[in-house]
Amino acid sequence: MSQKISFTVYEEGSRLDSYATSRCPQLSRSHVQRLIDDGLVTVNGRDSKSGYKLRTGDRIVVEVPLPQPIAPQPEDIPLSIVYEDDDLLVIDKPAGLTVHPAPGHSEHTLVNAILAHCPELSINGSIRPGIVHRLDKDTSGLMMIAKNDAAQRALSNQIKDRTVLKQYNVLVHGHLSPEKGVIEAPMGRDPGNRKRMAVVGSGREARTRYSVLKYFKGYTLLEVMLETGRTHQIRVHLSATGFPVVGDAVYGKASNVVDRQFVHASRLGFNLPSNGKWVEFTAPLPGDLEEAVGRFSRL
């Protein structure tokens, strides 16, 4: 399996490797050079060299092999289990634990831990078994994990229908006012940095509700509820309104009080797949965030 990227040269004189890199910003120059050496970059249908000087009208095709997924393996990683039945788990994920394997990071994830805890897990055709929603690596708190295909469909449908309660505790810079509000701003990939998300006019609908729990000197502790579930939604929305999350080095700035973003999934509610009963679970602030609140209280 591979992805093909093709384009035509309109200005001559550039080296093939540098020009192809400029047109494929997701690839490093060294990666492009390896592709050229392997015959996966052609000019007018022929193999070429990295230093080939391009001419106007040259047609370049870059073939990028897609990484082959590797089935995750069980690992004995401790889990803080809040609830468990035959269909699902609710866990309190610690900060620093990645949810699922990705290229270059196939071990030491929540999925590896789940496979060790549930060797009978029966979900077919997925390299992310049981995962129906995500938390960022450095976000702590409650997640639900499906144990079988039926439960995964039921929970995924609830998320799609926006009937799942997802509530977070978040500390932001500044004095956020009014005390209750809704941030409604479409989100998509940041045009200037594809590894980040941003508020963009052409993005997907995104709604975030918040209410103030407590004001500190120069900071505000919030209760945040997601009505949609976009990647980095809380962090992007709050940063866009001028109140970045404390400790968020990506959308704000690092903090000398807490060494990760102050976002904790504190409450989770949904209907059990087995009988439709509504259930809610809560998780207190972990020690590092509790300590941070105490320090901000003393400022």
**Is 136 a known active-site residue?**
yes
Residues constituting the chain: 299
* All residues at 6 or more sequence positions from 42 whose CB lies less than 8 Å from its CB, including other chains: 48, 60, 61
CA pair distance 46, 119, nearest whole angstrom = 50
Tokens 């035959």 map to which residue?
86
Evaluate whether 78 touches 87 at the Cβ level (below 8 Å).
no
3-state secondary structure of 160: helix
The Cα–Cα gap between 284 and 252 comes to 25
Q: Distance between CA 162 and CA 159 in Å, rounded? A: 5
Q: Is 71 exposed, middle or buried (0-12, 13-18, 19+ CB in 10 A)?
A: exposed
Burial of 190 (0-12, 13-18, 19+ CB in 10 A): middle
Backbone angles phi, psi at 130, to 5 degrees: 85, -15
Give CA–CA dist 278/269, Å, rounded: 7
Relative to beta strand 165-173, strand 263-271 is antiparallel
Give the pair of three-digit tokens for residue 227. Answer: 């009505």
SS3 percent helix, strand, coil of the chain, rounded to 5, is: 20, 35, 45
- Of 17, 136, 138, 248, the catalytic one is 136
The phi and psi torsions of 227 (rounded to 5 degrees) equal: -95, -20
Report the largest interatomic distance among the alpha carbons of the chain, rounded to a whole angstrom. 68
Catalytic (active-site) positions = 136
